[in-house]
Amino acid sequence: MDLIRHLEYFVAVAEERHFGRAAATLGVTQPPVSRAIKALENHLGLTLVERTPDGAAITEHGAALLPRARLIVDDSRRLTSAAQSLTTSGTIRIGLVPQLDDAIATRIAASVGTRARVETAAAVSLLDRVRSNELDVAVIDHPVVLDRVVAGPVITLPRRICVPAGHRSAQAERPRLRMLSDLAFATTPRTANPPAHDLMLDAFRRRALDPEVLVARTFRELTTAVASGRCFGLVPASSPTLPGTAHLDLAAEDVALRVRIIHREAEAESITPLIDRILLQASR
């Protein structure tokens, strides 16, 4: 059996607590995920996951093995990345958090040119990959716990609140944040950057808004969830207003995206000023 792939499926189900959502995250259909979990359980002689009316629950044995499974999956990805780096001499490996505007990402890629290899991942993952020399430089959201990396100044990028086009807040002459109380908040999972996630929810609570959180890992997931009428989310101020959505200028200081560039020691010193200029232009 492909143990690493089966462990990857197990980790996805454990994190999503749902077979369907795990399959969507992995980019596969649900049956292969169910078969992989069953095969892994047979291989280990343990029940790892139990189906529930709401999705899936991790058993006591599953919870005990989950940290080790995550390490194995992460190590396999690092091995693959390290092997790729050996064949990409001269490549500048750049990591970006998914909250960054696509226009910023393309400007960075165009500025670096053919040497650029741009990847998207959560802040915690990017930080770890910069430390392990799998990436030369990364742009991560702030705040995050930093150590063993060089971090640039915090840059603030404006964002707007994206709501369903038919929602009362979109129709109001003077919308208020509390009008969003009937909507969930679509955002990246807390594991992507716990401090930034918690600070955003705290900012909402200070304004009498305590929303349910709906995980949206990509801009597409966020905007389609908003268009369906289930939730609101945060989008770059320069983003176009897509069908079924509306943009609100509310709590600008609280919802702004704060980012910083990180790299290791003297590495990537030639590329960081270029990325810094692009981010500063976007902040104005």
List alpha helices for 156-193, DSSP H: 168-171
- Which residue carries 């226009």 as its tokens? 103
Element housing 139 (H / E): strand 137-141
Token pair recorded at residue 271: 């590329």
Domain that holds residue 29: 3-84
108 and 75 in a single domain? The answer is: no
The number of domains in the chain is 3
What tens digit of pLDDT does each residue of 42-89 get?
Answer: 999 999 999 998 889 999 999 999 999 999 988 887 776 665 555 555
pLDDT at 137: 93
User: Within this chain, do residues 197 and 216 fall inside the same structural domain, yes or no?
Assistant: yes
**Terminal-residue alpha carbon distance, the chain:** 53
Cα distances from 96 to residues 26, 62, 111, 252, in angstroms, run: 20, 32, 15, 22
What confidence tens digit (pLDDT) does each residue in 173-228 have?
999 999 999 999 999 999 999 999 999 999 999 999 999 999 998 999 999 999 99
Domain endpoint, select from 37, 53, 84 = 84
Predicted confidence band of residue 115 (pLDDT cuts 50, 70, 90): confident
What's the whole-model pTM score?
0.70
Clarify whether residues 187 and 71 are in a common domain: no
Residues 163 and 248 placed together within one structural domain of the fold: yes
Residue 231: CATH number of its domain? 3.40.190.10
Last residue of a domain, one of 84, 113, 136: 84
* Claim to verify: residue 123 and residue 164 sit in the same structural domain: no
Residue 27's contacts (CB-CB under 8 Å, 6 or more residues apart) are: none
Residue where a domain stops, chosen among 84, 104, 131: 84
Tell me the chain's radius of gyration from C-alpha atoms. Answer: 20
